[in-house]
Structure 1
Amino acid sequence: MSLDTVVEDIREEAHARAEEIRNEGEARAEEIESAAEADAEEIVESAERDVEREIEQLREQRLSSAKLEAKQKRLEARRDVLEDVHEQVEEELATLEGDSREELTRALLEAASVEFDDGDDVSVYGRESDRELIESILEDAEYDDYEYAGEYDCLGGVVVESEGSRVRVNNTFDSVLEDVWEDNLREISNRLFEQ
């Protein structure tokens, strides 16, 4: 074998080995590139899922916030309507006249009188515009020890007290209205806002 043949064989072997290394390098590069592309796709998909989840959470928060705000506005509107109704009832009580006003005032005075003993000096207070009405009721024999004592700022009715028994009974239209209102607020609300 000549030296030229050996050199040629070595050269061919070197070229073959270089080709093999280059092919292995290209294959490895393709594997790395393919793995990188797969990783990139997975990262993009994960990021998209995260963004979609974040968008959904934000949407739910905004929806929840909007629902809460709507509920608060609805409650405020209901409260305003209830206040209006309460004011209308007060106005009707304040402007009540004639036999109806007298019957209510008598009933409230009679209910208060059970708290006092016979012989107690009892003072009766009422709305200034009801003075004549109260004084005429007190002229009845059953109220001999009762006396109109002055004005009380109210819609009507009476405040009755006796220093001797240290009892004071507030039977004004206002106090009765508040008791009835509180006791029946749920029913009033249900009737006004039936759904």
Structure 2
Amino acid sequence: MSLDTVVEDIREEAHARAENIRAEGETRAEEIESAAQEDAEDIVADAEAAVDREIEQLREQRLSSAKLEAKQKRLEARRDVLGEVHEAVEDELAALEGDTREALTRDLLEAATEEFDEGDDVNVYGRGDDEELIDSILADYDGYEYAGEYDCLGGIVAESEQSRVRINNTFDTVLEDVWEDNLRDISNRLFEQ
């Protein structure tokens, strides 16, 4: 065997080995590239799913926020309407005249008298415009005297130092009691759904 043959065999062997290494490298590169492509596709799919979830969550938040805002506006509108109805009732009570006003004032005074002892000196206050009316009603009650003006829609406030009792039987307090007791029914009638 000559040296040239040995060199040639080594070269061929080196070429064959280089070819195997290159083929293995290409195969490995293709595997890495394929795995990277799969990873990239998974990452894109995960990102798209995350974006879809975020979009859905934002949509739900905005929808929920819009519903809450609409509900608040509805409640504000209802409050406004209830306020207007309350004011209209107050205006009607303040405008009552004649026999109706006298009957209501008399009933409120009579209800107050039950809280005082016989013989008590009772001071009665009322709306300034009702002074004459209250004086005429008080003529029927011993120890009861008109004591001055009270800022109200009508009715009376009666008090006695002997009994240490003060009764507020004004149209205002009666209205507030009736209003509070019936607010749900009033609201339901106004806003039937």
Q: Secondary structure at the match of 1:147?
A: strand
- Look up the SS of the partner of 1:149 in the other structure: strand
- The residue that corresponds to 1:106 in the other structure is 106
1:173 is aligned to: 171
Tell me what 2:161 maps to.
Answer: 163
Q: By how many angstroms is 1:82 displaced?
A: 0.9
1:150 to 138, 143, 148: 148
The 5 Å alignment of 1:15-164 reads 15-140=15-140, 143-164=141-162
Q: How many residues align?
A: 193
Offset of residue 4 of structure 1: 3.9
* Offset of residue 12 of structure 1: 2.5
Letter in 2 for 1:188: I
The equivalent residue for 1:182 is 180
Q: Report the secondary structure of 2:64's partner residue.
A: helix
Whichever residue aligns with residue 170 of structure 1, its letter is N
* One-letter amino acid of the counterpart of residue 136, structure 1: S
Task: Give the TM-score taking structure 2 as reference length.
Answer: 0.94
Identity of aligned residues (%): 82
Per-residue CA deviation, residues 81-131 of structure 1 (Å, 9 max, x unaligned), is: 111111000000000111111111111001001111221111111111111
How far did residue 9 of structure 1 move? Answer: 3.1
Q: Deviations over 1:127-151 (max 9, x none)?
A: 11111111111122xx122111111
Q: Any idea what the Cα deviations from partners look like across 1:16-51, whole Å, max 9, x if unmatched?
A: 222111111100100011111111111111111112
Q: Quick one: which amino acid aligns to residue 180 of structure 2?
A: E
Residue 154 of structure 1 aligns to a residue in which SS? coil
TM-score normalised to structure 1 length = 0.93
Counterpart-to-counterpart distance in 1, 2:126 and 2:112: 13
Q: Please state how far the C-alpha of 1:174 moved relative to its aligned partner.
A: 0.3
Unpaired runs of 5+ in structure 2?
none
User: Secondary structure in 2 aligned to 1:106?
Assistant: helix
Alignment partner of 2:96: what SS? coil
CA distance in 1, matches of 2:120, 2:17: 129
| SS of residue in 1 equivalent to 2:166 | strand
Moved more, 27-36 or 8-17: 8-17
Q: 2:192 aligns with which of 177, 180, 194?
A: 194
Q: CA deviation at 1:77?
A: 1.0
* Greater than 4 Å deviation, 4+ residue runs: none
What CA deviation, in whole Å up to 9, does each residue of 1:146-169 have, x standing for no partner? 111111110000111111111111
Greater shift after overlay, 26-35 or 60-69? 60-69
Aligned-residue CA RMSD in angstroms?
A: 1.4
